[in-house]
Amino acid sequence: MATTATTVPAHVPDALVWDADFDAFTAEGRDPWAAICRLHDGPPIRWCTNVAYGRSGWLLTRYDLISEAMIDYENFTAERHGMIADLVGENVRLNPIEIDPPAHHGYRRLLNPHFTPKALRELEEAVRRSASELVDKFAGQGGCEFISQFAIPYPSYVFLDLMNMPRAMLDQFIHWEDGIMRGADMAERVKAAREVYAYLKAHREKQLEQPGNPLLDAMVNGEVDGRQLTYLESMGMFYVLYVGGLDTVYSTLGWILRYLATHPDLQERLRADSELIGPAVEEFTRAFSVVVTHRNLARDTVFHGVQMKAGEEIHLPLMLADRDPSVFADPHRVDIDRKSRHIAFGTGTHNCLGIHLAKRELRIVIELFLQRFSNIRLREGEEYRYHTGRTFGIEYLPLAWD
């Protein structure tokens, strides 16, 4: 589908130019994974005239190339200024996702110890409780609209517990999230982002006065390079933990529940042997990798024979990596017995800080729904709705059960 006659830089070979709106292309048809994977049939490196928000840039379509770009932070930088600064009105950067090594390592050293499986063990009970509380609200109704009644509030609940914030803030946080992610216009998104930022700032100040929570202490009083974190470095961490686990978790959950609702045989298998839920989470996150991330060229470089110039964007759809037929046999098949080395949580220096938390959140939901409900299915006569873009997410998923 042709877009506008965007000027293509002179160094881009004609054969690599793809005059298309990437987001519209991925949204064609009923299955975004099938839609985007048509790109596997073309060149592994392309120049897309509208790769995101009307901007042009490079697009990689293969597992090996995408992994290589994520690992090679010297050529493909994640450094960005101003992405959220405009939104929240302070010169803050998402920390550590918008910062390259070596500075990046110092921030991760502060955060990592609080996101290991061992450190998260205590949070697990709270996560289970949040999931149960949400399910209790609709358990007797024979079904639910999974996204609004469960998938959206659930990660906010987990965030509140992780950050030692009052659970009574749940509705307020859902309201803010709605404004940021689905706000009708920019003004609404800015308003919600500023309100949440102000709340995070006040929570940080409270922590300065009453320390004691190990994760918050690290984010407020932690040291990098022998000095205390600055206010903006610290706020960048608060904000990244807020946004990092919201739409990623809800989107992945939506695809998982949709798959289970259309595969009663797999429901039965997982119910009969809950040990299989761990491997199922692995395979679900591969098959339903929801993130399209990007980098910028730090300098002029030749990447696999293609000349790229400093400052250009390079987009990395992780679903193309994780459904690459040259790495995963029969990639569109969900096979929980598959041993996979997928990159749904990224790879290299910026690999997901919340990976163990996320997997736990997903496992707990699958366990809970399978325990509480039998014959989970899509509500008859209704259609699910989804969006593509920077994350592939289901927006509406009507479920029924016996």
Q: How far is the CB of 217 from ligand HEM (least distance, A)?
A: 17
Q: How far is the CB of 7 from ligand HEM (least distance, A)?
A: 27
Structure tokens at 48: 């897309």
Q: What is the DSSP string of 92-137?
A: ---TTTT--TTHHHHHHHHHGGGGSHHHHHHHHHHHHHHHHHHHHT
Query: Residue 218: CA atoms inside 13 Å, Cβ hemisphere, count?
Result: 14
CA angle in degrees (0–180, nearest 5) for 76-81-87: 130
Distance CA 207, CA 214 (A): 10
Determine if the peptide bond prior to 211 is cis (ω within 30°).
no
- Contact criterion met (CB below 8 Å) for 258 and 366: no
Q: How far is the CB of 362 from ligand HEM (least distance, A)?
A: 6
Between strands 143-145 and 377-378, the pairing is unpaired
Q: How far is the CB of 249 from ligand HEM (least distance, A)?
A: 5
Q: Is 171 exposed, middle or buried (0-12, 13-18, 19+ CB in 10 A)?
A: exposed
Q: How far is the CB of 104 from ligand HEM (least distance, A)?
A: 6
By C-beta, is 62 or 377 nearer to ligand HEM? 62
Q: How far is the CB of 49 from ligand HEM (least distance, A)?
A: 23
331: phi then psi, degrees, rounded to nearest 5: -65, -25
By C-beta, is 207 or 248 nearer to ligand HEM? 248
By C-beta, is 12 or 220 nearer to ligand HEM? 220
Q: How far is the CB of 161 from ligand HEM (least distance, A)?
A: 12
Maximum distance among all Cα pairs of the chain, rounded to whole angstroms:
63
By C-beta, is 25 or 345 nearer to ligand HEM? 345
Residues of the shown chain interacting with ligand HEM in the complex, contacts defined by CB under 6 A: 70, 96-97, 108, 240-241, 244-245, 248-249, 252, 290-291, 293, 318, 344-346, 350, 352-354, 357-358
Q: How far is the CB of 13 from ligand HEM (least distance, A)?
A: 27
Name the residue number minimizing CB distance to ligand HEM.
Answer: 354
Structure tokens at 9: 């830089």
By C-beta, is 242 or 401 nearer to ligand HEM? 242
By C-beta, is 153 or 346 nearer to ligand HEM? 346
By C-beta, is 127 or 135 nearer to ligand HEM? 127
By C-beta, is 46 or 294 nearer to ligand HEM? 294
Contacts of 203 (CB under 8 A, 6+ apart): 163, 165, 238
